[in-house]
């Protein structure tokens, strides 16, 4: 059995509740990278997402090409989990 290759967290403003949800996802999918989608993320929200464990942050709605590019980038830098 293999773990997730990556996770996508769809948020809005990265409120305290969303931070907790993001943290739970990061823990549940570890070591898979997590891409966070936020509505017009500010610098403090971007930094907060990274500090909680996100690998990347994209503004919503992302262009499909940008999301695929980011997925390729983050999955390529994460070791594969084997069991």
User: Which pLDDT score is estimated for 35?
Assistant: 96
| Six token digits for residue 4 | 């997730």
What pTM was estimated for this model as a whole? Answer: 0.83
Which domains are present in the chain? 7-62 (3.40.50.2300)
**Which pLDDT score is estimated for 76?**
79
Tens of each residue's pLDDT in the chain, 83 residues:
368 899 999 999 899 999 999 999 999 999 999 999 999 999 999 999 999 999 999 999 888 999 999 999 998 754 444 33
| pLDDT given at position 77 | 59
Cα separation, 47 vs 53, whole angstroms: 10
- The reported pLDDT for the residue numbered 81 is 42
């Amino acid at each position: 059995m293999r773990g997730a290759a990556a996770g996508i967290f769809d948020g809005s403003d990265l409120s305290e509740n969303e931070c907790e949800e993001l943290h739970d996802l990061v823990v549940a999918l570890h070591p898979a990278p997590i891409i966070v989608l936020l509505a017009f993320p500010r610098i403090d929200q971007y930094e907060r997402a990274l500090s909680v464990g996100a690998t990347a942050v994209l503004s919503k709605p992302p262009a499909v090409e940008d999301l695929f590019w980011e997925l390729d980038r983050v999955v390529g830098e994460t070791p594969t989990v084997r069991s």
